[in-house]
Amino acid sequence: MPPSVIYRSAPLYELVMAVLYGRHYAARYKTIAELIPDGASVVDLCCGPGVLYTRYLRRRPVSYIGVDSNPGFVRRVIQSGALGIVADLSSAEIPEGDYVVMQASLYHFLPNAKPIVERMIAAARERVIVAEPIRNITGSRFRLLSAIGRSLTDAGRGGEGLRFKESDLDLLFRDFPVEKSFLIPGGREKVFVIRKSSRV
Ligand SMILES: C[S@@+](CC[C@H](N)C(=O)[O-])C[C@H]1O[C@@H](n2cnc3c(N)ncnc32)[C@H](O)[C@@H]1O
């Protein structure tokens, strides 16, 4: 099945995300960028067009690798000056980095998301950061919003329609050494920070 039309164009993807998150759009990236210290290497899984890098990390002394199954998105990441890898993360090896990050993409690994979190922890030298939607517009009573939401969850490889509730996420992360968890401004995503080790 081909990916949703939203995943075929980086500008369209950004526009749809900006509409969905409204005035909290910038905060969803800024919140994650602020958790990453200068000097760190970042591996961003399911990075999309690499907005975390292009708008929030590029001007800082941080190295960045974006991994996504969508070649068009990865091309954007490479054009912006970072490293980009096209890979299906359900089986591909995760590159090592100080911070291994995944934003709004864990649901792609349902019904069993635990193995990808375990693999992220194995690849991280310092911390794993997962931010995942808990208020999903796929359940919206507004048909257009609901349709856009379903489209955003469709990366073209089946299994779509499955999403996390906050209680599901809490249950999943109970098995991991979570340093802190909190909601992003607007409350649409929950962030889990797993500490692997401290910097020396
Ligand atoms: C909702 S977007 C999130 C993009 C970005 N993290 C952000 O927050 O802006 C989900 C991304 O996951 C990617 N994706 C879905 N399944 C994947 C898989 N198995 N391996 C790699 N990337 C995947 C899609 O191509 C898409 O770019």
> Percent of the chain beyond pLDDT 90?
70
| Cα 26 to middle of ligand 1, angstroms | 18
Mean pLDDT (the chain) is 88
Model confidence at 148, pLDDT cuts 50, 70, 90, reads low
pLDDT for 172: 97
Model confidence at 140, pLDDT cuts 50, 70, 90, reads low
Q: Give residue-wise pLDDT tens across range 47-77.
A: 999 999 999 999 999 999 999 999 999 999 9
The more confidently predicted of residues 197 and 73 is 73
Ligand 1, from 24, 43, 69: best to mutate by most atoms within 8 Å of Cβ? 69
| Cα 67 to middle of ligand 1, angstroms | 9
Residue 125 has pLDDT above 60, yes or no: yes
Contacts (Cβ under 8 Å, ≥6 apart) of 150: 138, 160, 161
> The whole model's pTM is what?
0.89
The residue written with tokens 């609901």 in the block is 146
| Cα 10 to middle of ligand 1, angstroms | 12
Give dist(CA 39, CA 42) in Å, integer.
Answer: 10
Give dist(CA 15, CA 133) in Å, integer.
Answer: 18
The more confidently predicted of residues 135 and 100 is 100
Contacts (Cβ under 8 Å, ≥6 apart) of 169: 106, 132, 134, 190, 192
Residue-range domains of the chain with CATH = 5-110+117-195 (3.40.50.150)
The more confidently predicted of residues 200 and 10 is 10
Q: What SS3 state is found at 141?
A: coil
Nearest CA to ligand 1 atom 10: 105
| Cα 153 to middle of ligand 1, angstroms | 9
Residue 155 has pLDDT above 70, yes or no: no
Ligand 1, from 77, 105, 117, 188: best to mutate by most atoms within 8 Å of Cβ? 105
Helix or strand holding residue 103 (H, E): strand 97-103
Residue 171 has pLDDT above 60, yes or no: yes
Give dist(CA 23, CA 163) in Å, integer.
Answer: 23
pLDDT for 14: 86
pLDDT for 15: 87
Whether residue 42 contacts residue 63, with contact meaning beta carbons closer than 8 Å, is answered with yes
